[in-house]
C-alpha cells in the first residue's frame, strides 16, 4: 500500500511539474509576442523572442516562399502584408469578436450546467453575459470613437490645449496634412490622419489611441475574466477522497497537484478555458499596468520612445563634450613645462572624465500631478476648452 502511495505521489509530482513548465513556456511566448517591444524589456531575452516572432520567423518564411515560388510568391505576400499591416482593416477586430463569442459559447455550453452550484447562484448566468457585454461595448467604443483627429477647422483648439516644450515637440507643419502640427500629436501612416495626444495605433481596435478615446481603451483593458470551478471541487468531496483514501497531507502544497489532475480529468474543457482566460487576463493586466503608469505621469507610448531618443542623444552629446574637454586638458598639459611622471597606480585608479558627465533629466511639462493627469484622461483638454468657449459665447 505504501509503494502504491509513493508511485501515486511521484506520478502526480511529475504531472504537476510538466503542467507548470508548459504554462510558464506558454506565458513567456505570449508576453514576448504581445509586450516584447516595451521599453522595460529592452535588451532582455523577451525582446529577442519578440523580434524572432514578429520579424525573424516572417523573414525566414519570406525567403522560403521566394525560393520555392519566386517573385510571384513574394509579391503576393507583400500585397497581403500591405493590406493587413499598412492599411486600416477589420481583420483583427473580427478575430477578437470571434474569440470572445467562441469562448463565451464554450463556457456557456460546458459550465452553465453546473450553475447554480456550491458557491455560485443562478444570477451568475446573467452576470457573465453582462460582463462579456460590457467588454464588447468598451471594445466597440474604442474602435469606432474619434481618437482626436486634428483638422484645419479644429487645429487651433489643440494648439492652445498642448503647448510646445521645445524638447521633443517644436512648432512645425505636418508634411502630409499641410496644417500646423500640435504638440503631442502625430500623423498616423496607417489611418492617414493627425491624431491629438497620440499614443499608438492599435490593430485590434483598427483605430488610433489618442486624446478622445484613451479613457475607453483603459476601461477595456481593466475589464477582466472569471471562472466557476471551485464549487465542483467541494460538491464531489475531492479533498476528502484525497486526504482520507489516498492519505495525502491536508495542505495546499500537497493537495494542489492532485486537485489539478482531477480537474483536468473531469473538466478538461473548463480547465483549458480557464488557462486560456488566465493567460489573456495576465497579458491584459500587464498592458493595463503599463498604460496606467503612462496615464499617471501624463505620458504616451509615442512620447516614451521620443524621450528615450532624446535622453540617449543628450547623453552621447555630453560624453563627447567631456571627452573633448579631457583631450584638450591633456594636450595643454603636454605643452606646458614637463612634470614628474605620475604614479602608475594613481593613474590606473584616476576618475574617468566620463563619470563626471552631466546627468540628463527628463523634464515633462505635461505632467501636472496625479489628479490633474487622471482628469485629463477622463475629460480631455480640447473638450474642456471647447465647452468653455461655448459657454462664453452663450453668456
Cite the active site residues: 202
CB atoms within 10 A of CB 155: 19
Nearest to 376 by CA among 265, 287, 299, 281: 299
Task: Compute the distance between CA of residue 315 and CA of residue 358 in angstroms, rounded to an integer.
Answer: 8
Amino acid at each position: 500500500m505504501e509503494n502504491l502511495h509513493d508511485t501515486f505521489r511521484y506520478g502526480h509530482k511529475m504531472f504537476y511539474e510538466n503542467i507548470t513548465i508548459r504554462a510558464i513556456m506558454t506565458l513567456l511566448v505570449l508576453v514576448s509576442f504581445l509586450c516584447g517591444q516595451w521599453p522595460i524589456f529592452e535588451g532582455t531575452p523577451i525582446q529577442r523572442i519578440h523580434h524572432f516572432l514578429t520579424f525573424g520567423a516572417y523573414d525566414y518564411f519570406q525567403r522560403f516562399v521566394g525560393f520555392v515560388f519566386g517573385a510571384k510568391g513574394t509579391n503576393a505576400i507583400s500585397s497581403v502584408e500591405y493590406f493587413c499591416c499598412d492599411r486600416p482593416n477589420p481583420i483583427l477586430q473580427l478575430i477578437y469578436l470571434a474569440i470572445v463569442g467562441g469562448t463565451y459559447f464554450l463556457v456557456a455550453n460546458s459550465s452553465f450546467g453546473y450553475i447554480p452550484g456550491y458557491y455560485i447562484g443562478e444570477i451568475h448566468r446573467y452576470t457573465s453575459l453582462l460582463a462579456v457585454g460590457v467588454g464588447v461595448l468598451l471594445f466597440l467604443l474604442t474602435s469606432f470613437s474619434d481618437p482626436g483627429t486634428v483638422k484645419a477647422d479644429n487645429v487651433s483648439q489643440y494648439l492652445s490645449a498642448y503647448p510646445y516644450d521645445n524638447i521633443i515637440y517644436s512648432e512645425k507643419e505636418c508634411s502630409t496634412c499641410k496644417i500646423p502640427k500640435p504638440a503631442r500629436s502625430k500623423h498616423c501612416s496607417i489611418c492617414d490622419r493627425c491624431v491629438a495626444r497620440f499614443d499608438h495605433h492599435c490593430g485590434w481596435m483598427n483605430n488610433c489611441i489618442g486624446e478622445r478615446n484613451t479613457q475607453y481603451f483603459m476601461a477595456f483593458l481593466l475589464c477582466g475574466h472569471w471562472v466557476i470551478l471551485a464549487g465542483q471541487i467541494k460538491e464531489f468531496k475531492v479533498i476528502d477522497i484525497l486526504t482520507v483514501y489516498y492519505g495525502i497531507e491536508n495542505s495546499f502544497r500537497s493537495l494542489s497537484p492532485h486537485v489539478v489532475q482531477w480537474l483536468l480529468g473531469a473538466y478538461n474543457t473548463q480547465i483549458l478555458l480557464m488557462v486560456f482566460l488566465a493567460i489573456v487576463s495576465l497579458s491584459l493586466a500587464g498592458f493595463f499596468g503599463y498604460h496606467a503608469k503612462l496615464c499617471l505621469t501624463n505620458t504616451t507610448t509615442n512620447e516614451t520612445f521620443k524621450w528615450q531618443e532624446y535622453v540617449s542623444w543628450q547623453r552621447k552629446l555630453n560624453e563627447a563634450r567631456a571627452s573633448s574637454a579631457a583631450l584638450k586638458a591633456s594636450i595643454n598639459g603636454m605643452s606646458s613645462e614637463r612634470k614628474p611622471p605620475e604614479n602608475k597606480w594613481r593613474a590606473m585608479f584616476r576618475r574617468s572624465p566620463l563619470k563626471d558627465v552631466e546627468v540628463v533629466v527628463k523634464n515633462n511639462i505635461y505632467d501636472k500631478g496625479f489628479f490633474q493627469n487622471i482628469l485629463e484622461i477622463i475629460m480631455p483638454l480640447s473638450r474642456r476648452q471647447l465647452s468653455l468657449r461655448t459657454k462664453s459665447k452663450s453668456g
